[in-house]
Structure 1
Amino acid sequence: MRTGERIGSGRSADVYTLVGDPGRVLRRYRDGTDATDEAALMARLAALGYPVPAVHLEDAPGPADLVMERLTGPTMLQALLTESAADDVGARAGATLAGLLHRLHALPGRIVHLDLHPDNVIFGPRGPVVIDWCNADTGPPGLDCAMSALILAQAAVGALPQARPVLAALLPQLDGTLETHLPAATARRAADRGAAQEAVLLDEAVALIHALRRVQPQISL
């Protein structure tokens, strides 16, 4: 297995093509983080019918590597930026995020993603697919929902105003436990070194969530 060109780069990992294998890519953590558990979780989620990229556990050349299906299509974030003129784009994105969260939390094992936001959803031929499971854990669904809401709110009060209608559409579809878990979500975001630039927006982001929750009906699930 030989890697080709680098086609993507995130906060902690790079994605490469595989020579002679156009249907798969290799994602490699730059600091050598072990991806074994993450790959195993993705394989489990796929077996349960949750939309994740197919992974190939046996083909990873090293512990920091993850060989997976190559997805085609824009991220939800890219769609928001290119389709922002459409009246219902934010509402559709919010509904999609809510559906993905509820589907995940309905699975056995109390799995939570903890970083489910528009840049971690890819729209492909088989619908929305969730990527980047490095923060995934087990825990209460309310914390997962609070994390997604807080990330969107930080974007909305910061450099991505397109996130506000997504957040406004998402919040009514989340139950009342969100408020219970919002302090823990805020603490996690404050401690996230990868989100240090957004940390100054936390107070404003929390205020936006509370404001939107007050003016919209909450759905008890």
Structure 2
Amino acid sequence: MTTGEPIGRGRSADVYELGGPAGAWVLRRYRDGGDADREAALMRDLAAHGYPVPRVRSSAGPDLVMERLTGPTLLDAALAGTVAPEAAGTLLADLLRRLHATPWIHLDLHPGNVVLTEAGPVVIDWRTAREGPAGLDRAMSALLLAEASLSDAPHAPAAHEALTSLLARLDAPVAPYVPEATALRAADPHLSADERAAVPAAGALVTGLAAAGGRAVAP
């Protein structure tokens, strides 16, 4: 069913190109053998709500066949300078707001999981998604940006700018959910020891910025 080597590789899944007209579909396979049916059903529900997700063709066991998206991720576009950090934060805030009009939260919505297609941004990687409080999802997205902003990577200042933009545009409390978000993040089995050690400082940064952000903590 797969063709050659993976064309993409995430923390928990590999993506393979499939045959078909113009390579319209890809296979996303969980490396741990998990069941993709739940993620497929969730994505179909989100599509029915009008939320931008890849079209799902089928799922079976660890395999999910879905629409192949064309375009850079928001992360790649930000690193290339074609999307400004402030605009990246604004886009993430809008995608979170739209998502939270549905019952679902993503819990891993960061620039690397947004594909900028010609038809508009599309959110990918729904394995961690579930029902839950919108504030937790907002706090998790902020936490992920905070981790990047505290790293020694060249894009750290841009990540900080995107974080402040995100927090300024969120329309519900964030700070009360930071402890739960940091606990979830630290429990992620895919984190390295260094990444896990950086989580508390990232949580403190989000709490401090949210408290100073006005609209980010307004009831």
Unaligned runs of 5+ in 2: none
Q: Which residue of 2 aligns with 1:74?
A: 72
Residues 55, 176 of structure 1: CA spacing in aligned structure 2 closer, same or farther, 3 A cutoff? closer
* Aligned AA (2:7): I
2:115 paired residue number: 122
Counterpart Cα distance in 2 of 1:42 and 1:98: 20
Q: Which runs of 5+ in 1 are unaligned?
A: none
In structure 2, the partner of 1:4 is 3
State the one-letter code of the partner of 1:138.
Answer: E
2-structure distance, mates of 1:122, 1:215: 31
1:154-169 aligned within 5 A = 154-158=147-151, 159=153, 160-161=155-156, 162-169=158-165
Percent identity over paired residues: 51
Q: Look up the SS of the partner of 1:96 in the other structure.
A: helix
Q: Counterparts of 1:214 and 1:90 in 2: how far apart (Å)?
A: 21
Provide the C-alpha distance between the structure 2 equivalents of 1:134 and 1:146, rounded to a whole number of angstroms. Answer: 18
Shift of 1:65: 0.5
After alignment, is 136-145 or 196-205 more displaced?
Answer: 196-205
The number of aligned residues is 212
| Partner SS, residue 177 of structure 1 | coil
The match for 1:192 among 188, 191, 194 is 188
Question: Does the alignment pair 1:100 with 2:95?
Answer: yes
**Contact residue 146 and residue 203 of structure 2 kept, 8 A:** yes
Deviates more, 1:15-24 or 1:114-123: 15-24
Query: TM-score, with normalisation over the residues of structure 1?
Result: 0.90
Q: Work out which of the residue numbers 102, 105, 112 in structure 1 matches 2:105.
A: 112
Shift of 1:48: 1.2
SS in 1 for 2:14: strand
Query: Is the CA contact (8 Å cut-off) linking 2:19 and 2:25 kept in structure 1?
Result: no
Q: Which residue of 1 aligns with 2:200?
A: 203
- Distance (whole Å) between structure 2 residues aligned to residue 175 and residue 189 of structure 1: 23
Any idea what SS the aligned residue of 2:122 has?
Answer: strand
Aligned-residue Cα RMSD (Å) equals 1.7
Give distance in 2, aligned partners of 1:174 and 1:198. 26
**Match for residue 39 of structure 2?**
38
Distance 2:105 2:145 in 1: 17
Any conservation in 1 of the 2:174–2:210 contact (CA below 8 Å)? no
- Aligned mate of 2:213, from 211, 216, 221: 216
Counterpart of 2:61 in structure 1 is 63
User: Alpha-carbon deviation of 1:216?
Assistant: 3.0
What residue number does 2:29 align with?
Answer: 28
Normalising by the residue count of structure 2, what TM-score does the alignment of the two structures yield? 0.91
Q: Find the aligned partners of 1:63 and 1:176 in 2 and give their Cα distance.
A: 37
SS in 1 for 2:32: coil
